[in-house]
C-alpha cells in the first residue's frame, strides 16, 4: 500500500503533498473520521497518480464520496488545459454520463399509503406496511422498466439511423417522438444534448450493444426510487424547484448502458496502444490518455459526447415509463399529477468549460468521475428558471436511508471547477456486500422499515445493502461545511426498483 503524506488544511480540507512526478498537490474533502478511514485506501494513491497527468490545473481533487475506481478515483475531479492538456477515459469511467434525474409531483405521499400507514407513522417499525397503492406502483414500475444485466424493452425498437440521431441530439430527439413533455429539455444539463458528438467515432459494436437498451435501467447501483420530500432546509430554493413537503418524488439513476461501456473499452485499447507505441510512461496503466488536440483525443471526446447523449435519452425514455406507470396505477394523467422534471445531472463526464484561473479566463476540460456539476446562482449555464438560486444538485444515498437536493455556491467555481460529490460512495465492494448479506432477507428487512424493494435478482439487492455505502448525510455535511454547496431538501425512500 502506497504511503501518502497528508496535511490538514482545515476541518474539511486535506492536502496530499506533492511527491516526485506530481505536477500539482492533491486536495481531499473529508472530515477527521473519514480521512482516517481513507488512509489505507488505494483511492488516495489514485488522487496522486492523477496529479501526474500532463496539463493538470491547480489540484487533483477528491470529494467526500471518494473510493477506488478505474484509474481515477470515484469522486475524483481534475481539469486540464484545453490546449496543452489531456483527456483520459479513466477520468470519465465506463458508464459515461451515469447520472441522476429528479421528478417532483403534486401527489401527497399519504395517497400512496391509502390502505395502510400515514407519513406520520411511516418511520415507526411497530406499524407494519400493508398492501398499498405504493406496492402496486413499485410492481408496475418494475414491470414497465426493464432492469438487470442485458435488459431490453421489446416493444420499442430503434434503427441504426435512429441511434445516430440520438447520439448527436440526445434527449430532445426522444422528446420530439412523444416520449416526454415539450419543456422537459429545459430542465436537463446541457438541455440533454451535449454538442460535439460524432456517431462516426463510435464503433459498430457499441451501437449494436446500445440499440436495444434505450429505456432500460441496467444493473448494479442503478435504480428508480419513489420517495417523498421529508425535510426542507431552504424554503425559497425548494419552492423554485417545486419541492413541497410530504409530496411524492421520483429519482432515476442510470447511464449509457452497453453503448457507453463499449466506447470506454474501445478507446482504452486504442489509447493504450498509442501510449505503447510512443513509449509514454504512465503512473498507472489504467490512466491512458490522449492530448486534447490530438486526433485520438478528439475522436474519444466525440464518442464520449455521443454516449453522454445516449444516456440523456435513456433517462428520458425511463421518465416516460415512470409517468405511464403512475397513470396506470393512479388513474390520472401525468401532467395533472404535476410530474415535472426538477433537473437531470451527469456524472462520469468530461466537459469543456471556462473558469477564472490565475486572474484570467481559461478554457479547460473538466473530468468528473463520480462527481456532478454544482453551478451557483447567476451562472449562465443553468436554466433561467433557476438562475436566482443555482441549479439543483442531486445527491442520492442508499436505498434504506435518504437522498439530498443541494445548490452549489460561488466557492465551487473557485475550488472544484463547479463540482461536488455525486452520492454517498461505497465502503464495501460488491463482493463484501454479498458476503455481509448472506443468510439475510434484505427485501423483508427493508419492508419492515416501510421501504418496498424490487430487484432483477437477489444478488443485485444484496450488493446494494444500505451499509455498503457511506452515510450520505455525512458526505453532504462535509460539502456544506466546506462551503461548496447548501442543503435544500431531504428525500426519503418509499419504494425502489434495482437493476
Helix (H) or strand (E) segment spanning residue 410? helix 410-415
Edge-first strand listing for the sheet containing 26-29 = 6-10, 13-16, 26-29, 60-67, 74-81, 360-369, 349-357
Residues 6+ apart with CB under 8 A from 277: none
320 is catalytic: no
What CA–CA distance (Å, rounded) separates 216 from 272? 31
**CA dihedral (393, 397, 403, 404) positive or negative:** negative
Nearest to 107 by CA among 119, 99, 116: 119
Give the CA-trace dihedral at 117, 121, 127, 132, to 10 degrees: 20
Q: Which long-range contacts (CB under 8 A, 24 or more apart) does 15-19 make?
A: 16/44, 16/47, 16/48, 16/51, 16/60, 18/51, 19/48
Closest by CA to 326, choosing from 146, 105, 132, is 105
Cα 290 from Cα 342, distance rounded (Å): 36
Which residues touch 487 (CB under 8 Å, ≥6 apart)?
A: 233, 234, 404, 405, 406, 476, 480
Helix (H) or strand (E) holding 137: helix 133-144
Q: How far is CA 50 from CA 7, 286, 323, 364, 409, in A?
A: 18, 11, 42, 16, 25
Residue 377's SS3 state is: coil
Radius of gyration of the chain (CA): 21
Grid cell, residue 476, equals: 453532504
Residues present in the chain in total: 499
How far, rounded to the nearest angstrom, does the alpha carbon of residue 350 sit from its chain's CA centroid? 13
Cell numbers representing residue 469 in the block? 455505502
**Cα distance between residue 409 and residue 19, in whole Å:** 31
The DSSP string of 103-120 is EEEEEEGGGGGTTS--GG
SS3 375: coil
Q: State the catalytic residue, choosing from 222, 320, 391, 422.
A: 422
CA distance 471 to 397: 7
How far apart are alpha carbons 170 and 423 in whole angstroms? 24
Catalytic residues: 422
Amino acid at each position: 500500500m502506497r504511503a501518502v503524506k497528508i496535511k490538514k488544511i482545515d476541518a474539511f480540507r486535506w492536502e496530499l503533498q506533492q511527491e516526485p512526478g506530481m505536477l500539482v498537490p492533491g486536495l481531499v474533502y473529508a472530515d477527521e473520521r473519514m480521512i482516517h478511514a481513507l488512509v489505507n485506501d488505494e483511492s488516495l494513491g489514485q488522487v496522486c497518480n492523477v496529479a501526474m497527468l500532463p496539463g493538470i490545473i491547480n489540484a487533483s481533487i477528491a470529494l467526500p464520496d471518494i473510493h477506488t475506481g478505474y484509474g481515477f478515483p470515484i469522486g475524483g475531479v481534475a481539469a486540464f488545459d484545453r490546449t496543452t492538456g489531456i483527456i483520459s477515459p479513466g477520468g470519465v469511467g465506463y458508464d459515461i454520463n451515469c447520472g441522476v434525474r429528479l421528478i417532483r409531483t403534486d401527489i401527497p405521499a399519504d395517497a400512496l399509503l391509502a390502505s395502510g400507514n400515514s407519513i406520520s407513522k411511516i418511520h415507526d417499525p411497530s406499524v407494519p406496511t400493508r398492501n398499498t397503492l405504493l406496492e402496486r406502483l413499485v410492481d408496475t414500475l418494475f414491470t414497465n422498466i426493464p432492469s438487470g444485466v442485458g435488459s431490453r424493452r421489446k416493444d420499442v425498437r430503434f434503427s441504426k439511423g435512429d441511434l445516430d440521431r440520438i447520439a448527436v441530439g440526445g434527449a430532445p430527439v426522444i422528446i420530439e417522438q412523444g416520449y416526454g413533455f415539450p419543456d422537459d429539455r429545459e430542465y436537463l444539463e446541457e438541455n440533454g444534448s451535449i454538442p460535439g458528438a460524432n456517431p462516426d467515432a463510435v464503433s459498430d459494436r457499441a451501437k449494436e450493444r446500445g440499440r436495444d437498451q434505450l429505456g432500460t435501467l441496467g444493473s448494479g447501483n442503478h435504480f428508480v426510487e419513489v420517495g417523498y420530500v421529508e425535510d426542507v432546509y431552504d424554503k425559497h430554493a425548494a419552492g423554485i424547484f417545486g419541492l413541497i413537503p410530504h409530496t411524492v418524488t421520483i429519482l432515476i439513476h442510470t447511464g449509457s448502458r452497453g453503448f457507453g461501456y463499449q466506447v470506454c473499452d474501445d478507446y482504452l485499447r486504442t489509447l493504450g496502444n498509442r501510449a505503447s507505441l510512443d513509449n509514454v510512461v504512465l503512473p498507472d496503466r489504467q490512466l491512458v490518455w490522449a492530448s486534447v488536440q490530438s486526433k485520438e483525443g478528439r475522436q474519444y471526446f466525440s464518442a464520449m459526447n455521443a454516449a453522454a447523449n445516449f444516456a440523456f435519452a435513456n433517462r428520458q425514455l425511463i421518465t416516460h415509463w415512470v409517468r405511464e406507470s403512475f397513470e396506470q396505477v393512479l388513474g390520472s394523467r401525468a401532467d395533472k399529477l404535476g410530474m415535472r422534471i426538477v433537473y437531470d445531472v451527469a456524472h462520469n463526464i468530461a466537459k469543456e468549460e471556462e473558469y477564472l484561473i490565475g486572474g484570467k479566463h481559461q478554457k479547460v476540460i473538466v473530468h468528473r468521475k463520480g462527481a456532478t456539476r454544482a453551478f451557483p446562482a447567476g451562472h449562465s449555464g443553468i436554466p433561467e428558471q433557476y438562475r436566482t438560486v443555482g441549479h439543483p444538485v442531486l445527491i442520492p444515498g442508499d436505498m434504506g436511508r435518504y437522498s439530498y437536493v443541494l445548490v452549489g455556491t460561488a466557492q465551487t467555481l473557485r475550488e472544484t471547477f463547479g463540482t461536488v460529490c455525486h452520492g454517498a460512495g461505497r465502503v464495501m465492494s460488491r463482493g463484501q456486500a454479498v458476503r455481509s448479506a448472506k443468510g439475510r432477507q434484505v427485501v423483508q428487512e427493508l419492508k419492515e422499515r416501510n421501504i418496498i424493494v424490487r430487484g432483477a435478482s437477489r444478488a443485485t439487492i444484496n450488493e446494494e445493502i444500505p451499509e455498503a455505502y457511506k452515510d450520505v448525510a455525512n458526505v453532504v455535511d462535509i460539502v456544506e461545511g466546506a462551503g461548496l454547496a447548501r442543503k435544500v431538501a431531504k428525500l426519503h425512500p418509499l419504494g425502489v426498483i434495482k437493476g
